[in-house]
Amino acid sequence: MNKYKKLLSDTVILGIGTFASKALVLLMMPLYTDCLSPSQYGTADLISQTANLLIPLACAGVCDGLFRFTLDSGADKPSVFRTSVRMLLISTLIFLVLSPILLAIDYFSSYAWLVIAYVLAANLHSVCAQYVRACDRPKLFALQGILNTATVISLNLLFLLVFDMGVLGYVLSVVLADTAVSIFLIIVAKLYRDLSVGKFSGELARRLVRYSLPMIPTTIFWWITNVSDRYIVTWMCGDAVNGIYSAAYKIPTLITLLCSVFYEAWQFSAVKDAEQKTKSSFFGQVFGYYSSLMFMGGAAVVLLLRVFVNILFADTYAGAWEYIPMLTAAAVFSALTTFMGSVYLVKKKSMMSFLTSMLGAVLNIGLNFALIPFMGAQGAAVATAFSYFVVFVVRTVTAQRQVSFPINYVRLGVNIILLVAECTVAILAPAYWYVYAGGIALVLLVINAYTLVHFVKGTLAQLRRRGRTTDK
């Protein structure tokens, strides 16, 4: 299959599943903000984010290594799966032995068992789902994502509306959904069969460890860049402000959604195209299309932020609008950073992922402490956006040394300036701000529309040529 057609096909399939999943979660925001006070929502968010910090530690980075090594040409997939599962079991036992440490933290002492259950269920789900994705089964991967979200929502309705379980019900829904979908994948994808026929390989285990271990601090550093601001906002501004700030994060997930849909499909295509290459026009063309889509999506979210807040949030969360512009810019820079990280994935340069993510984390924490005392939660949003921007620049330079591909730096620079200008206007909110923001968004749309139209026309032309060839 043509590599562009393969990428487009996988993106559409995963897009249907991911969009359905994430859109449903976003539509649940009125329920969450109605059933949970800002303080409760902030607590639930911190519990989830703390569990996300512990997830890579509990799995020793195995899930990342499992996906990458399963993609290798000629890989013995069942053996990779069996070896990875055994390593996961060992790391899980170590995590359980150390888990009582959570009881020493007063903030989480009442929820320590819930954090542990969240981590274990998430890792089980991840190892099953990543293996299915690496085996090139995008339809099943998309389906399990939809099932997972549907289960979470169903349990949210039950636990929050019927049983009024508050924070406990919000988090427990995720734990039970991850467990149920893992069982579904084990049965439907016949993972038990691959586990039984695969062989444990000590050499493969050592290679997995060398690749996976740097991914542990990498994931933690990304977590710090994404989440440390919420802890610092809670400490300096209180649970209520953090609850509103955390809710504001949900709107830029529209950008994260676009990124995740594409990246899940792109990882497979990237490895197959550039595993043995030092140059790739394919990377350059795809980055052009992808970055255009990200900037256009970011401009649209900023322009419509008041609409999203009025529709999705309860009145007590109305102040969330002021944090959305910079968090949206952060989401766009994060998406571009993620693309550059795909070069490290292709070349198995996990140490570069580690170093660049560490840069982002250190910069983010420093800026949080510097800006929040003067700007409040807005300082946290600015810190996050700037940190991602710096990491994107560094990754762009270093990625080019691994796989060289063309980038239109002029268009990229103009896009960045326009997006930041629109965010600034939205935050300052002068009279008729939406007119100025709309004008900026329109210019950005015109700059990027040609690129996307060219991509669509080229793809359709390829499909027509393929159809004519098939008819003959």
In the chain, domain spans: 36-213, 218-466
Model pTM score: 0.73
Alpha helices (H) in 238-280, listed in sequence order: 239-249, 253-274
Q: Residue 314: is it exposed, middle or buried by C-beta count within 10 angstroms (0-12/13-18/19+)? A: middle
3-state helix, strand, coil in the chain (%, to 5): 90, 0, 10
Confirm if 115 and 54 have CB atoms less than 8 A apart: yes
Which pLDDT does position 419 carry in this prediction? 94
pLDDT along the chain (472 residues), means of 10: 62 62 65 76 78 82 81 80 89 86 70 86 90 84 86 88 83 92 93 85 83 78 78 82 82 77 70 62 82 89 86 78 91 91 80 88 92 90 93 92 86 93 89 86 85 62 53 47
Which pLDDT does position 186 carry in this prediction? 93
Which pLDDT does position 470 carry in this prediction? 44
**Cα–Cα distance measured from residue 157 to residue 88, given in angstroms and rounded to the nearest whole number:** 33
Confirm if 366 and 422 have CB atoms less than 8 A apart: no
Residue whose pair of structure tokens reads 């100025």 in the numeric block: 436
Query: Which helix (H) or strand (E) segment is 447 a member of?
Result: helix 433-471
Max alpha carbon distance in the chain (Å)?
Answer: 72
Residue whose pair of structure tokens reads 């529209």 in the numeric block: 254
Answer positive or negative: Cα dihedral of 214, 216, 222, 224.
negative
